[in-house]
Amino acid sequence: MAFMRFQAPRGTRDVLPQEAHRWVHLEKTFRDICHLYGYSEIRTPTFEDTELFVRGVGEGTDIVSKEMYTFKDRAGRSLTLKPEGTAPVIRAYLEHSLGTPNQITRLFYITPIFRYERPQKGRLRESHQTGVELIGSGTPDADAEVIELTVRFYQTLGIRNISIKLNSLGEEECRKSYREALLEYARPHLRDFPEEFRARCEKNPLRLLDSKDPEVQKIVADAPPITRYYEKETIEHFESLQKLLNSLGITYEIDPKLVRGLDYYTKTVFEVQSEFLGAQNALCGGGRYDNLIEEYGGQPTPAVGVAMGIERALMVMETLEIEKKVERLLDVFAVCLTENRIEFAKFVKFLRDSGISVVTDLEFRSAKSQFRQADKSGANYAVILGDEELEKGVVKVKDMRSGEEVTLPSGEVLRVLRHHPA
Ligand code: HAM
Query: At 291, is the pLDDT very low, low, confident or very high (cuts 50, 70, 90)?
Result: very high
Whether ligand 1 lies within 6 angstroms of the CB of 127 is answered as yes
Q: How far is the CA of 214 from the centre of ligand 1 (A)?
A: 24
Query: At 268, is the pLDDT very low, low, confident or very high (cuts 50, 70, 90)?
Result: very high
Whether ligand 1 lies within 6 angstroms of the CB of 284 is answered as yes
pLDDT the model gives residue 1: 61
pLDDT the model gives residue 233: 96
Which ligand 1 atom minimizes the distance to the CA of 305?
Answer: 33
β-strands 332-337, 358-360 pairing: parallel
- Flag whether pLDDT at 420 surpasses 70: no
Q: Could you tell me which of 302, 273, 275, 376 has the C-alpha nearest to residue 333? A: 376
CA–CA distance, 354 with 367 (Å, rounded to integer): 26
Whether ligand 1 lies within 6 angstroms of the CB of 85 is answered as yes
Please count the other Cβ atoms lying within 10 Å of the Cβ belonging to residue 142.
Answer: 22
Query: At 367, is the pLDDT very low, low, confident or very high (cuts 50, 70, 90)?
Result: very high
Q: How far is the CA of 309 from the centre of ligand 1 (A)?
A: 6
Whether ligand 1 lies within 6 angstroms of the CB of 170 is answered as no
Task: Confirm if 47 and 79 have CB atoms less than 8 A apart.
Answer: yes
Q: How does DSSP assign 379-403, residue by residue?
A: -SEEEEEEHHHHHHTEEEEEETTT-
Task: Confirm if 264 and 56 have CB atoms less than 8 A apart.
Answer: yes
Q: What is the spatial order of strands in the sheet that 70-72 belongs to?
A: 47-49, 78-81, 70-72
- Flag whether pLDDT at 406 surpasses 90: yes
Q: What percent of the chain is modeled with pLDDT above 70?
A: 98
Give residue-wise pLDDT tens across range 55-114. 999 998 999 999 999 999 999 999 999 999 999 999 999 999 999 988 999 999 999 999
pLDDT the model gives residue 77: 98
The pTM for the full model equals 0.92
Query: At 328, is the pLDDT very low, low, confident or very high (cuts 50, 70, 90)?
Result: low
Whether ligand 1 lies within 6 angstroms of the CB of 306 is answered as yes
Amino acid sitting at position 280: Q
Q: How does DSSP assign 315-368, residue by residue?
A: HHHHHTT--PPPPP---EEEEEESS-HHHHHHHHHHHHHTT--EEE-TT---HH
- Flag whether pLDDT at 422 surpasses 70: no
Which ligand 1 atom minimizes the distance to the CA of 306?
Answer: 30
Mean pLDDT rounded to a whole number for the chain: 94
Whether ligand 1 lies within 6 angstroms of the CB of 263 is answered as no
Which ligand 1 atom minimizes the distance to the CA of 312?
Answer: 12
Q: How far is the CA of 131 from the centre of ligand 1 (A)?
A: 9
Give residue-wise pLDDT tens across range 142-165. 999 999 999 999 999 999 999 999
More confident of the two residues 193 and 267 = 267
pLDDT the model gives residue 308: 98
- Flag whether pLDDT at 261 surpasses 70: yes
Q: How far is the CA of 284 from the centre of ligand 1 (A)?
A: 6
Q: What percent of the chain is modeled with pLDDT above 90?
A: 83
pLDDT the model gives residue 66: 93
Query: At 325, is the pLDDT very low, low, confident or very high (cuts 50, 70, 90)?
Result: low
pLDDT the model gives residue 411: 86
Q: Give the HSE-up count for residue 407: Cα atoms under 13 Å, Cβ half-sphere.
A: 8
φ/ψ (deg, to 5) at 234: -65, -45
C-alpha 204, offset from chain centre: 28
Query: At 349, is the pLDDT very low, low, confident or very high (cuts 50, 70, 90)?
Result: very high
- Flag whether pLDDT at 393 surpasses 90: yes
